[in-house]
Amino acid sequence: MARAPEASALQSSRDFGMPPLAATSYRRDAQFLEDLRELLAEIGQSSKASPLAPVCSALAAQDDDALGEAADRVLAGTSNDSEAAAVPLLGAALQVYFTRLASTLETKDLEGVDVPTICPACASRPVASLVRLDPERPSLRYLCCSLCHTQWNLARITCSSCESDKGLQYFGLEGADGKPDRPAWRAEACDDCKGYLKIFYQEKDPHADPAADDLASLALDLLVDERGFARSGPNLLFHPGGG
Ligand SMILES: [Zn+2]
Ligand SMILES: [Zn+2]
């Protein structure tokens, strides 16, 4: 059962217009290490023959302080290349923990945050954006939190990093025949800040999933990187330096 943040903490984040679960400063309780150790045991057990098993057992052998510090580095984006294999496991446990906490929040807890490019619940950057298939509110674009899975609205054709609405370009993959490959996948790249983030269109693929499709479309990252743009939000299940 999720322990909700203290009412006084929620009130003070409202007073200051801060996301209530600001991830890099939030004091995680013991539940996080329980989540992580449970996930390591489950994955270690179910993938005994895979290269993940030794990574799970090496992580499980670490003490609580070392695991907490490694998780802090994942949140800060400062993991070492030597721990690249552990990043997806730590990232998955952080997602479980913060998603459960975010699910205890009410809309009013999120309303005071006026920086539209960070998650109103946990202050993380989005992993991608999604144009939802919603007959009542067609074609609205939502940014999708890389940590707690909260989705929030941002106008279309707006940079999700610097909020510029000029000089945005959209890149997609092409098949060998020159026709668009995977039309539901695009990268939205900004000439002002040289950042990019992917945007997925449910009208072209109703099953588009921002976190999973982001990992499935690394070819699109390569294409946009080559044109001089840098990714503006992380995917916690992937350590970029670790390839
Ligand atoms: Zn979030
Ligand atoms: Zn920009």
Residues 149 and 207 in one domain: yes
C-alpha 176 – ligand 1 centre gap (Å): 38
- Confidence band for 108, pLDDT divided at 50, 70 and 90: confident
Domain count within the chain: 2
Residues 43 and 83 in one domain: yes
Residues 238 and 130 in one domain: yes
- Asked, for residue 1, whether it belongs to a domain, the answer is no
Identify which ligand lies nearest to the alpha carbon of 229: 2
C-alpha 160 – ligand 2 centre gap (Å): 7
Which pLDDT does position 55 carry in this prediction?
Answer: 94
* Distance in angstroms (rounded) separating the CA atoms of residues 15 and 193: 31
Residues 172 and 237 in one domain: yes
Question: Residue 34: helix, strand or coil by DSSP?
Answer: helix
Beta strands in the chain (DSSP E): 126-131, 141-145, 151-153, 168-171, 173-174, 180-181, 185-190, 195-201, 230-231
- Parent domain of 142: 125-242
| Cβ atoms within 10 Å, residue 111 | 11
Give residue for tokens 């054709």: 157
Residues 151 and 228 in one domain: yes
Compute the mean pLDDT over every residue in the chain, rounded to the nearest whole number: 92
Residues measured by CB to lie within 5 Å of ligand 1, the ion: 119, 121-122, 124, 145, 147-148, 150
Identify which ligand lies nearest to the alpha carbon of 169: 2
Which pLDDT does position 14 carry in this prediction?
Answer: 76
Q: Looking at per-residue confidence, does 66 or 49 come out higher?
A: 66
C-alpha 68 – ligand 2 centre gap (Å): 33
Which pLDDT does position 1 carry in this prediction?
Answer: 53
Q: Which residues of 41-51 are buried (b: 16+ CB within 10 A; e: fewer)?
A: eebbeeeeeee
Of 68, 102, 136, the position where a domain reaches its end is: 102
Say if residue 243's pLDDT is above 60: no
Residues 95 and 140 in one domain: no
